[in-house]
Structure 1
Amino acid sequence: MSGAPLPDPDPAHERLTRLWQAHRPPGPLLPHELKKVHANRWVRFHSLPESKRYAEDEAEYAILLDRYNTVLDALFAGGEAYVVTTDWGGLSEPTDLSARRAALHPEGTLWTTLDDTDDPDPAFHTRWYFYADRRPWERGCLDPLLRAVADDTLSGVFVTDPDLTRIHHPYDGGADVVLPTPEERDRLRAQHSAWLSALPSGY
């Protein structure tokens, strides 16, 4: 994969871009890759009891939103966070691909792109578009977006602190979380041990 240059980069995102480029591997990552790249600082929390994947009523939505927000508070309370959403399409397609993504993340402006050209067939090459906004963290501010993620009607979302040391990637069924150190990861994991996978892999 490689990052594609933006024609008109948003100056507000330049620092975030520099941090991504300083990471190893350098450049932006797709959210689902975080657990492998940062395995020593990663933990996964399930969003419903008994690892149930999807909510069936408002009581279960309340549980999963509380779990999401409890971990997000632990990562970002009292500070600021970048909220990042993604779209994807062919290499020549326009950037405004998803009306649903834009409706759920209207504050997001195009931050960067990522070209996936690993497949030998050019017909399967893909360009990912990353949209970001920076905001003071407030519990509940992402509930509509998180609910869409939980329903699997929106994916490729993550939240990070301005230094890219704390990352929360929600998905349908739970969230992948990256902490600054293995020790901090272990403390958070111990605080919410009932939300962990029963599998030895942590998945």
Structure 2
Amino acid sequence: MSGAPLPGPDPDPAHERLTRLWQTHRPPGPLLPHELKTVYRKHWVRFHSLPESKRYAEDEAEYAVLLDRHNTVLDELFAGGEAYVVTTDWAHPSDPTQYSDLRCSLHPEGTLWTTLDDTADPDPEFHTRWYFYADRRPWRRGCLDPLLRAAADDALAGIFVTDIDLGRMYHPYDGGADVVLATTEERDRLRHRHADWLSAHPSGY
């Protein structure tokens, strides 16, 4: 894969800063959200969003539990600061993106930040271009609830949130969230605080 900042006569300063951070990160990015758990394995923990690791909410009471778990951890990561919210879309390089209407409706603040081409397959028909949309905002509990519900329903994948220094990352998915912390010690403290939300599987998945 290869990422490239988007061209343009008047690039967003917040996007430029995010690009510079990723370029100096190890490994350089951006990365696809589902790769975070592998790339940052030593600093990673996964929390499930419903009791007994139930994958999908079936009523508003379960959505309330799910959103409370997400927002509790997000508050611990970002409260009092600012965060980048990133959503993704993808398509064959010659085709329209897959989720543009839904993504735009749920993340209207996000503007195109960068692209990432996956050309590993020798057959060009299986090449994919990923599109990353980002905005920078003060963190407020509940500000991502529509995106979190979409992720929980597997209606919109590829969402992640990071602090403005790329030290903490949060990727919600259908069933829970992957969290990357700056240090293993910080990861362990967070994992201990929410031990009841961990997977029972030895791998943490």
TM beyond 0.5: yes
Contact 2:91–2:98, Cα closer than 8 Å, also in 1: no
Deviation at 1:89, TM superposition (A): 0.7
Aligned to 2:132: 130
Taking the TM superposition and a 5 Å limit, the aligned residue runs for 1:13-24 are: 13-24=15-26
- State the TM-score, normalized to the length of structure 2: 0.96
Q: 1:184 and 1:27 mapped to 2: Cα distance?
A: 22
Aligned to 2:173: 171
Contact 1:44–1:197, Cα closer than 8 Å, also in 2: yes
Give the alignment partner of residue 64 of structure 1, picking from 50, 63, 66.
66
Contact 2:112–2:132, Cα closer than 8 Å, also in 1: yes
- State the TM-score, normalized to the length of structure 1: 0.97
Contact 1:115–1:125, Cα closer than 8 Å, also in 2: yes
Aligned to 2:144: 142
* Runs of 5+ unmatched residues, structure 1: none
Give the alignment partner of residue 12 of structure 2, picking from 10, 13, 19.
10
Deviation at 1:91, TM superposition (A): 1.4
Taking the TM superposition and a 5 Å limit, the aligned residue runs for 1:10-49 are: 10-49=12-51
Q: How many residues align?
A: 203
Contact 2:90–2:98, Cα closer than 8 Å, also in 1: no
Identity rate of aligned residues, in percent?
81
Q: 2:126 and 2:100 mapped to 1: Cα distance?
A: 19
Aligned to 1:82: 84
Q: 2:138 and 2:76 mapped to 1: Cα distance?
A: 14
Q: 1:89 and 1:95 mapped to 2: Cα distance?
A: 5
Please give the per-residue CA displacement for 1:75-104, whole angstroms capped at 9, x wherever unaligned.
Answer: 000000000000001113456951000000
* Runs of 5+ unmatched residues, structure 2: none
Deviates more, 1:105-114 or 1:16-25: 16-25
Match of 1:61, SS?
Answer: helix
Q: 1:198 and 1:94 mapped to 2: Cα distance?
A: 40
Taking the TM superposition and a 5 Å limit, the aligned residue runs for 1:80-159 are: 80-93=82-95, 98-159=100-161
